[in-house]
A and B are shown apart, each in its own frame.
Chain A
Amino acid sequence: MADPTVSVRDLTTWRDSKAVLDSISADVLPGDIIGVLGKNGAGKTTLLETLLGFSRPDRGSVAVFGEDALHLSAAAKARIGFLPQQDELFGMLNGRQQLAIVAAFHAHWDHALIERLTAEWTVPLTRRIDSLSVGERQKLGVLAALGHHPDLLVLDEPVASLDPIARRQFLQQLFAIGENERRAVLFSSHIVSDLERAANKVWIVKDGRLHWQGELDALKESVVRLHIRSRAPLPANLAAPNALATRIDGNTAMVTVTQWQPALADTLASQFDARIDVEGLGLEDIFLELHR
């Protein structure tokens, strides 16, 4: 297996005697497109920025390309592309100047790619940035993070202000990046449907912990909703193994479980003398169920 692009071990950050990041361990492998999900204030931005060394963790360590995130060499930094949640563009410049400034820091800046994407995404480069719309600024920010073909691309809410067409174009670009197996993308978003299309792995951040990390497909296969219909009233203390949420209504019950195994249906069916229907859940529903 290839060396992980980012390797996080026991990452913990305290703030105001509350753990903003709580013992997080995870790996980002080359070829991964990881979607980071979490409700507002769950610690997504803290996590992403701590991974890149913007913040010093209280415990644990992060290695990016095998180097300590707090002490990255020029070579390692040149392989990182980062788009912060709040764009850091200079209002008094125009887009072309902004990109020129970013390009000045990279030996291999792909002008052709940026020209092409500028045209495709219709980013106005000759207007002052402070006269651009929020969405246009966001596109420009993404361009600024892409131009040097980073091997690790970290995008904090890259599509929040984009229209559906621009979001689709952004996804296509993400796939183009993902085709190169050396590259890894880590992006947070609240637009779950995009995440479902793009990500092959998901990190769900809840209360500073990685509540789930793994393949998106595995997550969907693991979390299901069971509809139990029995002939007799169901016991109020109905307990299915690994249940996230249980709602009982007389003879019927709705139970969301994780680590779903088809064999469980038989067990429950015979236990309650009931008919069991299994409903697969979309990522949005899974996210909601995990936050009950």
Chain B
Amino acid sequence: MKAVLRIGWTFFTAMPLQRWLNGIGIVLCGMLAVLNLKVGEPTWSFVFLALFVPAGIVTLFASPAIFHGLSASRSNQLLPHFHIWMLAALAALMIAQLAMFALIFVAAESSRTPLLPALVHVFTFATVAFLLMFLALSGQRWAWWLWLMASAGFIASRVMPSMRIVLDAIPPWTWFGASLAAWTAFVLWYTRTRHIGQRRRYWQTANRSSPIDLDENVTRERALGLLLSSALLSTRWRKFWNIVVIVIVVVALLSQLTDPLAISIRGFWGTVTLYLPPVTSAFWVYCVTAGMQSATMTIVRNSRFLWLRIPGSREDVQRAIERAALRNFCTAALMLAGVAALYASPLAGASPRQVVTHFMIAACAGLCGAYAALSTFTVRQVDLIHFVSVLSLVMAQVVMFSLAQGSWRALAIVVVIQLGCVLLLRRLAIHRWRQIDWLYMRPPTQYAGLFQR
């Protein structure tokens, strides 16, 4: 039993990102609860939502990797009853997630649909997500494509009313039965198999050549860029997360743009992303801050590669790193501009002020995230300072976000505050870089990504 609990706990805490998000979720939860009481509208769904977004969704997507990582380890496979423990922990995880979802569902008073079919849909979704990702990680490349297709189908069912009618016509028990059958097959296979494929990148090609187009005459600039972005290329999860984020963003945008009133079960994507202003703006800001922060952190950790390769002192390395981070930021800003353009288009018809507010706040948040990573890196890999700094950044930005909705002047003030914050972080960055210790600040090793520390 203890082992099952341990494994179950691992599902929620194995990845550093998860621990972060869970922590943020809990803080967010408290903050929103207080905010709610002040406003006087006791809609507890906020609270559950805040918990669910980080803990539920992230765990849902992380659990296949964690499950696979634990299962594929040869030494683990030799433990007595290991497979039974793993399956029991997995069952517990599924039940916990369904329970969490049920809580949100009950809390959202506006829901008019019955609970059970909704739960079945969530169960089906969780099953598909878990099994396909597990297969993909075990080296079955087709599973990635199937998974992408499933996601696309899900989006399609959101935007195309005809398709939704077709899907709704399928009775829930069919979904349930199919999921159960899939799980049975999985359990039978899992308890018998002696070999679980090692994790492989989903884009890892069958031929042995490298997927990166790189001839032998590399310029110094290109080599420098490759050295800095190595982890971006080598961590399959980063790539995967990018796709997940893009899918979420696209689904969220499309669902909001086409069907703003739907609070059916398949509407929960919309719910968690954009429907409830304080929560969803926090989520937005968080996404951009954390995204830029993690991308910059990669560059910072790879800075070790530069030390013997570019002339000069730590200050010179810092300047090179800052340039690389700003290049990253420009790409992100371009993407944000795309989103803003979509909002401004007749499809959404948002007012210019809304569009500018969203864009400016998100862009500033990204810049803050980048400089937070540049300045609060922890040489000895203790995340605490970093965690607190990014968390407080996000919190401050959420407050500023709601302030900025007021008027152009409010927006200007908020942006100035944000940029001031960036300048302060930059100062701190320059100061701290003089002391950077590359004995400890190392690029993450190839297999450390998932179960780091």
Inter-chain CA distance A97–B230, complex, in Å, is 13
- In the complex, chain B residues whose CB is within 8 Å of the CB of A94: 208-210
Tell whether, in the assembled complex, residue A105 and residue B446 are in contact, meaning their CB atoms are under 8 Å apart.
Answer: no
- Check A189 for interface membership: any CB of B closer than 8 A: no
Q: How far is the CB of B118 from chain A (nearest CB, A)?
A: 42
Inter-chain CA distance A128–B211, complex, in Å, is 9
Tell whether, in the assembled complex, residue A126 and residue B208 are in contact, meaning their CB atoms are under 8 Å apart.
Answer: yes
Inter-chain CA distance A282–B212, complex, in Å, is 50
- In the complex, chain A residues whose CB is within 8 Å of the CB of B437: 54-56
Tell whether, in the assembled complex, residue B208 and residue A131 are in contact, meaning their CB atoms are under 8 Å apart.
Answer: yes
Q: In the complex, which residue of chain B has the Cβ closest to the Cβ of A128?
A: B210
Inter-chain CA distance A260–B436, complex, in Å, is 45
Question: Which residue of A56, A102, A126, A130 is within 8 Å of B435 (Cβ)?
Answer: A56
Inter-chain CA distance A101–B215, complex, in Å, is 10
| Interface size range of chain A in the complex | 35 or more
Inter-chain CA distance A88–B231, complex, in Å, is 11
Tell whether, in the assembled complex, residue B309 and residue A105 are in contact, meaning their CB atoms are under 8 Å apart.
Answer: yes
- In the complex, chain B residues whose CB is within 8 Å of the CB of A220: none
Fill in one digit per residue for B424-438: 1 if any A CB lies within 8 Å of its CB, else 0: 000000000011111
Mark out the residues of chain A between 96 and 144 whose CB falls within 8 Å of any chain B CB in the assembled complex: 96-97, 100-105, 126-128, 130-131
- Check A17 for interface membership: any CB of B closer than 8 A: no
Stretch from A22-30, A32-40, A43-51, A165-173 that touches the partner: A43-51
- In the complex, chain A residues whose CB is within 8 Å of the CB of B38: none
Q: In the complex, which residue of chain B has the Cβ closest to the Cβ of A107?
A: B220
Inter-chain CA distance A97–B213, complex, in Å, is 9
- Check A160 for interface membership: any CB of B closer than 8 A: no
Tell whether, in the assembled complex, residue B227 and residue A54 are in contact, meaning their CB atoms are under 8 Å apart.
Answer: no
- Check A278 for interface membership: any CB of B closer than 8 A: no
- Check A214 for interface membership: any CB of B closer than 8 A: no
Tell whether, in the assembled complex, residue A96 and residue B208 are in contact, meaning their CB atoms are under 8 Å apart.
Answer: no
- Check B226 for interface membership: any CB of A closer than 8 A: yes
Inter-chain CA distance A127–B439, complex, in Å, is 30
- Check B217 for interface membership: any CB of A closer than 8 A: yes
- In the complex, chain B residues whose CB is within 8 Å of the CB of A70: 313-314
Question: Which residue of A52, A90, A101, A126 is within 8 Å of B233 (Cβ)?
Answer: A90
Inter-chain CA distance A126–B227, complex, in Å, is 20
Tell whether, in the assembled complex, residue B445 and residue A93 are in contact, meaning their CB atoms are under 8 Å apart.
Answer: no
Mark out the residues of chain B between 400 and 441 whose CB falls within 8 Å of any chain A CB in the assembled complex: 434-439
Stretch from B53-61, B81-89, B300-308, B347-355 that touches the partner: B300-308
Tell whether, in the assembled complex, residue B311 and residue A128 are in contact, meaning their CB atoms are under 8 Å apart.
Answer: no
Inter-chain CA distance A92–B443, complex, in Å, is 15
Tell whether, in the assembled complex, residue B439 and residue A52 are in contact, meaning their CB atoms are under 8 Å apart.
Answer: no
Inter-chain CA distance A101–B217, complex, in Å, is 9
Q: How far is the CB of B311 from chain A (nearest CB, A)?
A: 3
Inter-chain CA distance A236–B349, complex, in Å, is 97
- In the complex, chain A residues whose CB is within 8 Å of the CB of B382: none
Tell whether, in the assembled complex, residue A77 and residue B446 are in contact, meaning their CB atoms are under 8 Å apart.
Answer: no
Q: In the complex, which residue of chain B has the Cβ closest to the Cβ of A74?
A: B311
Tell whether, in the assembled complex, residue A126 and residue B209 are in contact, meaning their CB atoms are under 8 Å apart.
Answer: yes
Inter-chain CA distance A97–B210, complex, in Å, is 9
Tell whether, in the assembled complex, residue B311 and residue A72 are in contact, meaning their CB atoms are under 8 Å apart.
Answer: yes
Size of interface on B: residues with Cβ below 8 Å to A: 40
Inter-chain CA distance A88–B435, complex, in Å, is 22
- In the complex, chain B residues whose CB is within 8 Å of the CB of A49: 438-439
- In the complex, chain B residues whose CB is within 8 Å of the CB of A105: 220, 223, 309
Q: How far is the CB of B204 from chain A (nearest CB, A)?
A: 8
- In the complex, chain A residues whose CB is within 8 Å of the CB of B230: 90
Tell whether, in the assembled complex, residue A91 and residue B439 are in contact, meaning their CB atoms are under 8 Å apart.
Answer: no
- Check B2 for interface membership: any CB of A closer than 8 A: no
- In the complex, chain A residues whose CB is within 8 Å of the CB of B435: 56
Q: How far is the CB of A50 from chain B (nearest CB, A)?
A: 7
- Check B216 for interface membership: any CB of A closer than 8 A: yes
- In the complex, chain B residues whose CB is within 8 Å of the CB of A203: none
Inter-chain CA distance A88–B303, complex, in Å, is 12
- Check B234 for interface membership: any CB of A closer than 8 A: yes
State the main secondary structure of chain B at its contact with A: loop
Known: A53-B307, A90-B234, A91-B234. A101 touches B209 (CB 8 A): no
- Check B192 for interface membership: any CB of A closer than 8 A: no
Tell whether, in the assembled complex, residue B216 and residue A96 are in contact, meaning their CB atoms are under 8 Å apart.
Answer: yes
Known: A56-B437, A104-B222, A105-B220. A71 touches B312 (CB 8 A): yes
Q: How far is the CB of B201 from chain A (nearest CB, A)?
A: 8
Q: In the complex, which residue of chain B has the Cβ closest to the Cβ of A45?
A: B439
- In the complex, chain B residues whose CB is within 8 Å of the CB of A128: 208-210
- In the complex, chain A residues whose CB is within 8 Å of the CB of B214: 93, 97, 100-101
Inter-chain CA distance A105–B221, complex, in Å, is 9
Known: A45-B439, A56-B435. A88 touches B305 (CB 8 A): yes
- In the complex, chain A residues whose CB is within 8 Å of the CB of B201: 92
Inter-chain CA distance A101–B305, complex, in Å, is 12
- In the complex, chain A residues whose CB is within 8 Å of the CB of B222: 104
- Of the candidates B201, B212, B308, B434, the one having the most CB atoms from chain A within 10 angstroms of its own CB is B308
Q: In the complex, which residue of chain A has the Cβ closest to the Cβ of B226?
A: A101
- Check A270 for interface membership: any CB of B closer than 8 A: no
Q: In the complex, which residue of chain A has the Cβ closest to the Cβ of B307?
A: A54
Tell whether, in the assembled complex, residue A101 and residue B218 are in contact, meaning their CB atoms are under 8 Å apart.
Answer: yes
Q: How far is the CB of A100 from chain B (nearest CB, A)?
A: 5
Tell whether, in the assembled complex, residue A104 and residue B439 are in contact, meaning their CB atoms are under 8 Å apart.
Answer: no
- Check A271 for interface membership: any CB of B closer than 8 A: no
Tell whether, in the assembled complex, residue A100 and residue B309 are in contact, meaning their CB atoms are under 8 Å apart.
Answer: no
Q: In the complex, which residue of chain A has the Cβ closest to the Cβ of B223?
A: A104
Inter-chain CA distance A94–B226, complex, in Å, is 14
- Check A237 for interface membership: any CB of B closer than 8 A: no
Question: Which residue of B223, B313, B434, B442 is within 8 Å of A101 (Cβ)?
Answer: B223
- In the complex, chain B residues whose CB is within 8 Å of the CB of A88: 304-305, 443
Tell whether, in the assembled complex, residue B208 and residue A93 are in contact, meaning their CB atoms are under 8 Å apart.
Answer: no
- Check B75 for interface membership: any CB of A closer than 8 A: no
Inter-chain CA distance A130–B236, complex, in Å, is 13
Q: How far is the CB of B215 from chain A (nearest CB, A)?
A: 7
Tell whether, in the assembled complex, residue B308 and residue A52 are in contact, meaning their CB atoms are under 8 Å apart.
Answer: yes
Inter-chain CA distance A149–B234, complex, in Å, is 30
Q: In the complex, which residue of chain A has the Cβ closest to the Cβ of B302?
A: A88
Inter-chain CA distance A94–B214, complex, in Å, is 10
- Check B452 for interface membership: any CB of A closer than 8 A: no
Known: A50-B439, A92-B211, A101-B227. A77 touches B216 (CB 8 A): no
17 contacts between A and B (CB under 8 A): A45-B439, A54-B439, A72-B312, A86-B445, A88-B304, A88-B305, A90-B226, A92-B210, A92-B211, A97-B218, A100-B215, A100-B217, A101-B218, A104-B219, A104-B220, A127-B208, A128-B210
The 3 A-B residue pairs with the shortest CB-CB distance in the complex, in nearest-first order? A74-B311, A104-B223, A54-B438
With A90-B233, A101-B218, A130-B446 given, can you name 10 additional A-B contacts, CB distance below 8 Å?
Answer: A72-B312, A77-B308, A77-B309, A86-B442, A88-B443, A92-B212, A100-B217, A104-B223, A105-B309, A126-B208
